[in-house]
Amino acid sequence: MSTMAQDSWLPHQLSSLSERLTMRNGVYIMGGAAIAAMLYTGGDVHVLVVMYSINVFLTFSLSNLGMTRFTVGHRAKDPRWRRHLAMHLTGLLLCVAILVVTVYEKFLAGGWVTLVVTVSVIVACASVRRHYRVVAEKLRTLNEELGPTLELQHDHPEPAEGAMSEGEPTAVLLAGGYGGIGLLTLRQIDPIFPGHFRQVIFISVGVIDSGTFKGPDEVAALRASIQAQLARYVTFARRKLGWPADADMIIGTDVVDELDRLCR
């Protein structure tokens, strides 16, 4: 589930490696599905085995299909690719044959409900992925429209050079990636709170999830990327607004907990 969430097939909250967001919710979802299956079948092992075997051989078929595609695509790098291709094709044909026979023979003995549930899950995952793609495209368009416009604005007559003043009202901006949305949010601080804030600190959380937790190099690259984007925000605030600015960040597995700690 964590890996699927990283690829936007499930809600992104499940990509976090935290106890609260991924593991606990994952256990709840799997436990709820198991209870539903037990209630539907009345604990009949024969029906449960049918439901289990259909998705098992569906998974095996997809795995062998993926390995077949991989082998063909990388045949130039593998001198024994024909041998590997034959093995994966054999496995694919066997698994598909078993899957088709099982569905045909056991369609009324739990097969149909398995297909309904599986198709429903696929449709739900596709809908989640489509949602994230639509939102990402809108955000990308908005960033492309706002970013260059705000970047081209004239510099402040007195760009800030010194450090922030302790005790002065300070705006704290939760910053994601550098772009037009973040810059517009920064520009809205003074119109919303006229004359109140004259310095700003940008804070951000680098989330370690199943896509980045692959070794110290990836974590270091994540930290460097966030620091670079925060530095651009600081430069923009000093040059365009004339505000003293600074930035801080933290690396963690739960964005809410880490932001809470960093804000305090």
Q: Specify the CATH number for the domain of residue 177.
A: 3.40.50
Give the domain extent around 172.
156-263
pLDDT at 193: 92
Q: Kindly report the pTM of this predicted structure.
A: 0.66
Q: Is 156 left (phi over 0), alpha (psi -120 to 50) or beta?
A: beta
Task: Look at residue 217 and tell me if it is in a domain.
Answer: yes
Last residue of a domain, one of 117, 143, 169: 143
Task: Look at residue 3 and tell me if it is in a domain.
Answer: no
pLDDT at 65: 95
Are 51 and 139 members of one domain?
Answer: yes
pLDDT at 111: 82
Are 138 and 160 members of one domain?
Answer: no
Give the bridge partners for 209, in sequence order: 16
pLDDT at 216: 66
Task: Look at residue 219 and tell me if it is in a domain.
Answer: yes
Q: What is the pLDDT along the chain (264 residues), one digit of tens a residue?
A: 877 887 889 888 777 666 565 667 778 888 998 898 888 888 888 888 888 888 899 999 999 999 999 999 888 888 888 999 999 999 999 999 999 998 888 888 878 888 888 899 999 999 999 999 999 888 888 877 777 777 767 777 778 877 888 888 999 998 877 888 888 888 889 899 998 998 999 999 887 765 555 666 777 888 888 889 899 899 888 888 888 999 998 887 777 778 888 888
Are 134 and 228 members of one domain?
Answer: no
Task: Look at residue 5 and tell me if it is in a domain.
Answer: no
Residues 6+ apart with CB under 8 A from 68: 85, 88, 89, 92
Number of domains in the chain: 2
Last residue of a domain, one of 97, 121, 143: 143
Are 117 and 180 members of one domain?
Answer: no
CA dihedral 180, 186, 189, 191 (to 10 degrees): -50
Are 93 and 59 members of one domain?
Answer: yes
